[in-house]
Amino acid sequence: MLKLNSSRFIIFILAAVVSSCTVRKHPFNFNKNIDNTFLQNVISKSKSILATEKNATSARVYKAGFLQGWMEQNHFVDWAVLSKQRKNEFTSYNRGGKSEYDVYLILFDAKSGNKNSFLFFTVQRPWLDTDTATGFSPFYYGILDNRASGPYLLADETFSITTEGTTYTPSNRKNNKLYFLLDKQYGSNFKSDSLRIEKVVLPQDNQLSDNKALVISVDDVLGDKVSLIMRYEDTIILKP
């Protein structure tokens, strides 16, 4: 496991955050705010070259969760962030969590032989508060693909969301290129019960490797093989 700063950093890096999140509280509930209208808007107004599917009738929602709480490490008790699947590792010093991080992967069904498109983002919220958000990662949009080397998510568009009351609208769309490599031991297609991100590849210029592709290993950074397992949650009907 990692201490708070490192854990928060990698959770958001894996969602490809390149700027700090807002600390303002927003009224937010995934089931209410990321709805049919929002998702249709993402598809229909996307500038993605890869994700050309505009007539999806449903979307499958996958989710992974992280919890921030007290943890004993190296003879000290400090805030740490763990996958919720490992939350039993928090010590008895834990008097309640501080923040939670919900990582969402949404797969849109493809028609006419197109590849399934996806939407990937992270929501930070206060502990046990499912109706409030304190920060959002950028939203990444692209396709689910599979080659001989294995399945992966390829994003070529990122956008932010603007808020007006409880209405969330995509804005500031930009072109990018980002690969999320999936673990072959888990599902690799649209109907899978779970998908796990194993590595992240940043082929664009970055501060660490100049113009060389930077590879981030989830196993190495988070130190376990249960983090970022995206479990199937529900299906959202987009069109009757």
Q: If you average pLDDT over each of 87-96, 159-168, 219-228, which comes out highest?
A: 159-168
pLDDT digits (tens, 9 = 90+) for 40-77: 999 989 989 998 888 889 999 999 988 777 766 677 77
Q: Has residue 16 got a pLDDT over 80?
A: no
Residue with token string 């988070």:
222
What is the rounded average pLDDT of the residues 107-123? 89
pLDDT of residue 63: 93
How far is the CA of 40 from the CAs of 10, 45, 144, 197, in angstroms?
A: 30, 8, 18, 25
DSSP SS3 for 227: coil
Q: Which residue has the higher pLDDT, 34 or 81?
A: 34
120-129, 176-185, 193-202, 207-216, range with the lowest pLDDT? 207-216
Least confident residue range of 63-72, 144-153, 206-215: 206-215
* Mean pLDDT comparison of 71-75, 103-107, 194-198, 207-211, highest-scoring range: 103-107
Classify the phi-psi angles of 150: left when phi > 0, otherwise alpha if psi is within -120 to 50, otherwise beta. left
Strand partners, 119: 106, 141
pLDDT band per the 50, 70, 90 thresholds, residue 136: confident
Distances (CA, A) of 35 to 118, 166, 228, 238: 15, 12, 23, 9
